[in-house]
Structure 1
């Protein structure tokens, strides 16, 4: 990520909040509350968008800072609003949210929360944050095979350790790919054998189709990647899987630049 991308995302939230804070203090405005919208990404992270997650983490921390001064402050950590704005217009994104365990909120729920806040304004006394966060290790994941963004977060390990039935969702296709890569590590010439690129293209395609929520029987490695609706969000998921599976990294831009499946598969012989 370029520093310009980092600053472009963080500055409006961080500097805007900072300026409002000091402007109201200098003007001696006695606020009933100081409410601003943050995002769940500040707590749960958002793959590929660390600048956005960091900006929202700042907002959450700044609310605690104001409260420590005895000043009112409230952040509302929103998830995706599923019936308004960008998310509501993108059906494919809604499907990906569902499969990753993200339910989002409705516009009505946002308005209701604002109404509750407006009726429960209490100026805080200066205080230090003494809240504790605990895991309840008796619980297990509701959907062990889900692809929730926080599934691989180290803080979630206790849940995976308590479940003996969790599945990585790889299936027989994953076993085929693992066996092929294991042989390739022992003998790199395997990658140059007839049919190797075809096999890799099919296995990569199977994984991509799972992210796109498409049935495997529609897989056709002769079609162009752009025709499948591959976007940057799916690219982030593919990049993470690629790094874990093949042991080297590629950028989302590299993925989006490839026209056909064989472009992806042909990278393997260059790296092994």
Structure 2
């Protein structure tokens, strides 16, 4: 455990003040535990009286530093970091959430995507019990169950382990309760951006809103602002365009003071946001904060300064990046997860609150305009298809009728996900069912992907380089969206082909899954060409030392526990023994020289069960 021994009740194990202390213990000969627990509520408790956004940023800074150290230090490569929060996720309607630590889930979901099998997220019940020893023992037992699970994200509620799964929803047939948009002034942040402008037109044309307060950092000086105002005015709306940094509480308070009493504020839609994509390893506190402020600070100020008003709608434009943990968007994911938690928090207080976690829009915007054709193909392979503007606005209208505080609003191509052959993100497993792949080994080279070690060991040494080069070229082509891997020249620089930090992470993950190796996120830059990368993999896999029997012996060793586990089932035991006899017959026939005419051979059929299992043991 990292932190105080008292920070997690009854958890047991050795407590280290910091990761560096665990590293020192390993250097002194200590054993690396399979799981290291980081109780977040103890490590990053907010300062007394600190504003929620400030406390959330401080918590994120601390966690980011720990996770970066965890992922960068090879001494920890064989273990998982279990980050434990309390009440940071809402598992049912009406639950209040810990807004300080909720964004950590978004940050770490992206870290999980970038570095699979290295981080686990666990959320415990809120710490509002009496602290009796019985409760401590129960919590420790339930936490142990969570740590034994293969799920990357879990919540513990009254002894029950819950996992997040996306499920289809539909508005009730009666249409539910829609907000009364046209009765007062509706405030839209980020209103001069592409998505904000689409919404403003929709509110006026489809909902009859007649009083709009459109807000952006540049206000009337923003490109297209005058044209948008004139267009809306021509449709009968009274439009006020204002410049305001909604992440500044004083500016938001002054802005709200301009709303006329005869048209009081009745709705808020927060669409503002910025991007600054980078991997977790390269993320700095400054880049984290720059993306957080338009999300966390702005939404919190809007919440606090309007909570006593009679609003009919409080809508937050979030993103599926926070739910899925998009690689390279840990800062953006964190900010959007705060919005999701704030909507649940408002519902628990009896206030309107809806967070719309948008997927990809076909409409170009500041948040999607940077995507290349390769990026779009990569997103398509992940199942995310763009929403047309008409479909997006239809879903915006349908959202209130569902009664949900959080909705993922996206087109999802489940067929593409199944066709990829990869296991879908845990969140999508309820919608997309595929045959699970064997997990990669945590030790370098110990668990080469299914079939790869066997093929390499059986191949001639001269062919092994070709096989690995073809593997690398195929994965490079898949990541970049090239239709023909043979067009990827082995000597061509990967950066010239279009690799950046995000596609490098995807390439690393695909090669790690194929080979079973722990590979650095910078592998596409450390090994600059497909040929160099293939050579690196050959050295890491120790291909030159492989013999043809190694993969078979490893497979036999892997099967032994399963064979022993079936010993208690008489029927299964008999079938297994029969198959083992057949395998031994085949091995014996293939491996023995032809006997002389007067030789006698052992009769394997006469072997006892104990002798058969002893033979299996010898082949390890």
TM-score by length of structure 1 reads 0.68
CA distance in 1, matches of 2:426, 2:534: 28
Residue 454 of structure 2: aligned partner: 179
Gap runs ≥5 in structure 1: 132-140, 167-173, 185-189
Give the 3 Å change call, closer, same or farther, for CA 82–247 of structure 1 in structure 2. same
- Residue 151 of structure 1 and its aligned partner are, at CA, apart by 0.9
**What root-mean-square deviation, in Å, do the aligned CA atoms of Structure 1 and Structure 2 show?**
3.9
Q: Indicate the larger mover: 11-20 or 32-41.
A: 11-20
Larger-Rg structure = 2
Residue 209 of structure 1: aligned partner: 477
What SS does the corresponding residue of 1:36 show, helix, strand or coil? Answer: strand
Gap runs ≥5 in structure 2: 1-279, 407-413, 438-448, 543-620
CA distance in 2, matches of 1:260, 1:243: 17
Give the 3 Å change call, closer, same or farther, for CA 93–224 of structure 1 in structure 2. same
Residue 70 of structure 1: aligned partner: 350
CA distance in 2, matches of 1:65, 1:73: 8
TM-score by length of structure 2 reads 0.33
Is the CA contact (8 Å cut-off) linking 2:288 and 2:331 kept in structure 1? yes
Is the CA contact (8 Å cut-off) linking 1:97 and 1:103 kept in structure 2? yes
Is the CA contact (8 Å cut-off) linking 1:42 and 1:53 kept in structure 2? yes
Is the CA contact (8 Å cut-off) linking 2:354 and 2:405 kept in structure 1? no
Is the CA contact (8 Å cut-off) linking 2:360 and 2:387 kept in structure 1? yes
Count residues in correspondence. 236
Give the 3 Å change call, closer, same or farther, for CA 59–259 of structure 1 in structure 2. same
CA distance in 1, matches of 2:385, 2:540: 41
Give the 3 Å change call, closer, same or farther, for CA 130–33 of structure 1 in structure 2. closer
Larger fraction in helix: 1
1:168-211 Cα distance to aligned partner (Å, 9 max, x none):
xxxxxx98744345x39xxxxx99x5564444222111121122
Q: 1:47 aligns with which of 327, 330, 342?
A: 327
- Residue 216 of structure 1 and its aligned partner are, at CA, apart by 2.6
Residue 419 of structure 2: aligned partner: 145
Residue 135 of structure 1: aligned partner: none
Is the CA contact (8 Å cut-off) linking 1:82 and 1:94 kept in structure 2? no
Residue 24 of structure 1: aligned partner: 306
Q: Indicate the larger mover: 100-109 or 41-50.
A: 41-50
Residue 255 of structure 1: aligned partner: 524
Is the CA contact (8 Å cut-off) linking 2:296 and 2:335 kept in structure 1? yes
Query: Mapping of 1:1-272 within 5 angstroms?
Result: 1=280, 2=283, 4=285, 5-25=287-307, 28-85=308-365, 87=368, 90-114=372-396, 116=397, 142-143=415-416, 144-146=418-420, 151-153=424-426, 156=429, 159-160=432-433, 177-180=452-455, 183=457, 194=462, 196-214=464-482, 215-256=484-525, 258-268=527-537, 269-270=539-540, 272=542
Higher relative contact order (CA 8 A, sep 6+): 1
- Residue 255 of structure 1 and its aligned partner are, at CA, apart by 1.4
Larger fraction in strand: 2
Residue 187 of structure 2: aligned partner: none
What SS does the corresponding residue of 2:356 show, helix, strand or coil? Answer: strand
